[in-house]
C-alpha cells in the first residue's frame, strides 16, 4: 500500500499538486493541499510522484 503524505509545515499552497494529480490532491478551504485518497492505485501513484517532484516546497512524500 502506498499513500501520499503532505508536510503541512512546508505546504504554502501553490496548487501544482492538485493540477498534476487531481485524483490524489485538492486544496482545502484555506488553499493548502489535502489528500483525497488513503491508498494510491498505480495511476494515482504515478501522478503523485509527478506532483511530488513538481512541488516547489518538497512538501509531498510517498510512503509504502
CA distance 1 to 19: 23
Binding site for ligand SF4 (CB under 6 A): 6, 11-17, 33, 55, 57, 59-60
Helix (H), strand (E) at residue 47: helix 42-54
Question: What's the closest the beta carbon of residue 36 comes to ligand SF4, in angstroms?
Answer: 12
- Nearest residue (CB) to ligand SF4, 43 versus 53: 53
Question: What's the closest the beta carbon of residue 56 comes to ligand SF4, in angstroms?
Answer: 6
Here the cell at position 21 is 494529480
Question: What's the closest the beta carbon of residue 37 comes to ligand SF4, in angstroms?
Answer: 15
* Secondary structure class of 33 (helix, strand, coil): strand
Amino acid at each position: 500500500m502506498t499513500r501520499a503524505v503532505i508536510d503541512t509545515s512546508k505546504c504554502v499552497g501553490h496548487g501544482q499538486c492538485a493540477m498534476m494529480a487531481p485524483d490524489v490532491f485538492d486544496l482545502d478551504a484555506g488553499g493548502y493541499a489535502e489528500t483525497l485518497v488513503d491508498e494510491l492505485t498505480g495511476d494515482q501513484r504515478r501522478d503523485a510522484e509527478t506532483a511530488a517532484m513538481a512541488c516547489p516546497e518538497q512538501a509531498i512524500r510517498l510512503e509504502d
